[in-house]
A and B are shown apart, each in its own frame.
Chain A
Amino acid sequence: MTEIEPAPEPSSGLVADYDLGPFFDEMFESVGHPRRHYRELNERLGALTDDGLRERIRTANAFFLTQGIGFTVYGDDEGTDRIFPFDLIPRIVPAEEWAQVEHGLEQRVTALNRFLADLYGQQRILAEGLVPPELVFGSRNFRREMIGVEPAGGVYAHVSGVDLIRDDEGRYLVLEDNLRTPSGVSYMLESRQALKRIFASLFDRSGVRAIDHYPRELLETLRSVAPPASTSDPAIVLLSPGAHNSAYYEHSFLARQMGIELVESRDLVVHRNHVFTRTTSGLQRVDVIYRRIDDDFLDPLAFRPDSLLGVPGLLNAYRGGNVTLANAIGTGVADDKAIYPYVPDMIRFYLDEEPRLPNVPTYVGARPDDLEAILDRIEELVVKAVDQSGGYGMLIGPAATPEEHAAFRRLVAADPRNYIAQPTIALSRHPTFVRGALHGCHVDLRPFVLSGADRVRIVPGGLTRTALREGSLVVNSSQGGGSKDTWVLG
């Protein structure tokens, strides 16, 4: 029996002037016709007066200001806090769509963890010739110190942030994996808190799935990987670089929410291969460290000797199995740009399954057919040097001059293994308030995947980031991006 639905009325007011552009729009199928899971929201927005809207924006700003939720912008007079730009209109993901995404995330992160265990163990995938060994051993994030080390529960990436985008047909694609110290989960949680205060009535009948159990799930994950010798109530701490770090708010927030101690390196000391906190009543044993410091800075004896953020002797205590680090040391090799194209093969190799969440199509210079395609179509591709990041060593084909195309052709031909290329993706857009009017802004989605010794936990949704500048594809919070609440429907 098919359900007969009345044709939706084109909306009025704010929503009426909204321009869809040549992109996949998360909310609207066509002008004035919202997708089914957005209809309720569309009606409420249509009914909102300008004053009602302004009032709600004020409430949102006041919430973020009084909670002191800011992020530090580097190079902006000495790290001043700014309010995190928050958008009122939630992004909605229907239940069946989320189920697909969730499966795909679990599958992908499980394979990545298996890959890490393999790299630092038997290296079967290299022996089989599926991943070129030079990409692994040449990666600055591969840590020889980890070879032969078995972390508790066999887990490497306990907290993963997988960045998803949708293309012009609304397909979910993985843009990149973040397996080191992904941040942003506090914005996910605070965005929900903010929207509940501002639009409480919206939540009544919408069946939005809760996310505020994330800190508990994280704590369970960390407990599950405590060293086998520790007590049934392991001592867990969150290691932060300190109050000047741009994510310090998040560190403090998560420590408070989990009820664990927030520590800095000077609070920790290694003695006889065990880690302790320095307390007013002497040394106290630590079992699990949720660290938000990069590998390079963790232990000045093992990595950067000039690190003031690290704990001397930590690596040895870790290798001795006396403390668990989450995430493990050396996970960065698996979220490397050079390794990314091989993740679908990993999923087939370790799990014998077809990937449920595809990569953005990627040409790998090391593959002869792909190399030919890169050289032929360089004008339409984004070409990236795999050993560089942050926009360096990169060519955006459609925006570049013929001279630049020629220069990059020479670079790629000379060192094909160092390059990958991707078509430019038209990221999906979502209606967003920018200066009082509704604009289509590009969005991505970062769900957080928790991998414990017992199971994988995923809180429904994630952090939806919006590019607030007209036409901008950059969604980083430090680059003028903002956030939206993300609703997964039950």
Chain B
Amino acid sequence: MLSRVAESLYWIARYVERAEDSARLLDVHYHALLDAQVADHGESWQRIVALLGDEAVYREHYDAYTAQDVAEWVLWHDGNPSAVSGCITLARENARSVREQISGEMWEAINGLFLVVGRANRRAAVRGPHAFFEELRNGTHRFQGSADATMTHGEPYEFLQLGLHLERAATTVRVVRARYPVAVGLAEDDPMRAHELIALLKSCSAFEAYVRRHGASFEPLAIAEELVRSPAFPRAALYCLRTCATAVDRIAGTAGTPQRVFGRLCADLEYGEVDDVSGAAVAGTLLELLGGINRAGDAVAKAFFSTRAVPAAALASQEAQQQQCG
């Protein structure tokens, strides 16, 4: 299939997933703070901004970290390249340019998301994002579900899977990295500790899955294991990266760089030893993992989207000629 089309499909999936993830994070945090016994939440909102992007860019537009400002920033602000509204617009633009590759149901779902964002009562959403988040999530799930149910599971579908799961893996790792050290930094008998851990689980839609497996005892290590190394929970990093590895296998057939990169990431996660569970050590390990996920994204782009299509020999020969001219 055309590299441009593959790239558009990959980004449609990433943008849709990113929009849902950002909105969920905002929604969960907003409601978690309602229970917290703290007067000033500036610091915790700052962590949300940092988790979702670049703090310095935020500071260009706002003086402080208030719930309403951060909500506006995350949901709509034009200066935020990852704002929910921007992601949905980009997903729709990409979908329009590959309209003949996706099913009518998927196109309708993307259009529906665009309408949800366009029609939303922004002032109300900034004061309480839950209703908006629910509507958005219904739309993103409709898109992902209709891709699954109405599109041939061939190469174009695999690029959607690749984009979706790479984005999801990165988000989960970022969320754990930001929230885990805060939780383990609190004393074990501090009621806020459980509170923090529950917010961490909910930020990844993992609360019910965790409680079903471990009961309502919130152990930081068990939670981190569930979110990072579970082979079965669909937002766990390992699950997502394995899905990426499968997608890349189906796309390429023969082993190339992307397969190797994903294979190594999965193996490290699966067999790696964790002996230091302190906040700093876990954050460090997860930073490394995040680097690996970014490198995997680069490998995908290099293999399928552009570079490989340029005849390397022709390029080299032209470069050589230029040197003789100079």
Which residues of A are interface residues toward B (Cβ below 8 A)?
68, 242-243, 252, 255-256, 261-264, 266-267, 269, 271-272, 277-283
B15 to chain A, nearest CB (A): 16
Residue of B nearest to A272 (CB): B314
Instruction: Choose among A243, A267, A269, A280 the residue that contacts B304 (Cβ–Cβ < 8 A).
Output: A280
Q: Interface centre among A242, A255, A280, A281, by most B CB within 10 Å?
A: A280
The complex places the Cα of A277 from the Cα of B3 at a distance, in Å, of 9
Say if the beta carbon of B60 comes within 8 Å of chain A. no
Known: A266-B4, A269-B310, A280-B6. 9 other contacts (CB 8 A): A243-B96, A243-B97, A256-B100, A261-B2, A263-B4, A267-B4, A272-B314, A280-B252, A281-B252
Given A280-B1, A283-B311; A252-B304 close (CB under 8 Å): no
B189 to chain A, nearest CB (A): 55
What are 26 A-B contacts with C-beta separation under 8 Å? A68-B99, A243-B93, A252-B100, A255-B100, A261-B2, A262-B100, A263-B2, A266-B4, A267-B3, A269-B309, A271-B311, A272-B314, A278-B2, A278-B306, A278-B310, A279-B1, A279-B309, A280-B1, A280-B2, A280-B3, A280-B155, A280-B251, A280-B304, A281-B252, A283-B309, A283-B311
Interface pair A279/B100, CB less than 8 Å apart: no
The complex places the Cα of A269 from the Cα of B310 at a distance, in Å, of 8
Residues of A within 8 A of B295 (CB): none
Given A252-B99, A282-B308, A283-B309; A264-B4 close (CB under 8 Å): yes
The 8 closest A-B pairs by CB, nearest first: A278-B309, A243-B97, A280-B304, A278-B3, A256-B100, A280-B6, A271-B311, A267-B2
The complex places the Cα of A256 from the Cα of B251 at a distance, in Å, of 23
The complex places the Cα of A280 from the Cα of B5 at a distance, in Å, of 9
The complex places the Cα of A460 from the Cα of B295 at a distance, in Å, of 57
Interface pair A282/B309, CB less than 8 Å apart: yes
B132 to chain A, nearest CB (A): 25
Residues of A within 8 A of B4 (CB): 263-264, 266-267, 278
The complex places the Cα of A243 from the Cα of B314 at a distance, in Å, of 31
A24 to chain B, nearest CB (A): 41
The complex places the Cα of A428 from the Cα of B310 at a distance, in Å, of 55
A84 to chain B, nearest CB (A): 17
Q: Interface centre among B2, B99, B251, B310, by most A CB within 10 Å?
A: B2
The complex places the Cα of A62 from the Cα of B36 at a distance, in Å, of 51
A396 to chain B, nearest CB (A): 40
The complex places the Cα of A68 from the Cα of B104 at a distance, in Å, of 11
Residues of B within 8 A of A283 (CB): 309, 311
The complex places the Cα of A278 from the Cα of B252 at a distance, in Å, of 15
Residues of A within 8 A of B107 (CB): 68
B299 to chain A, nearest CB (A): 13
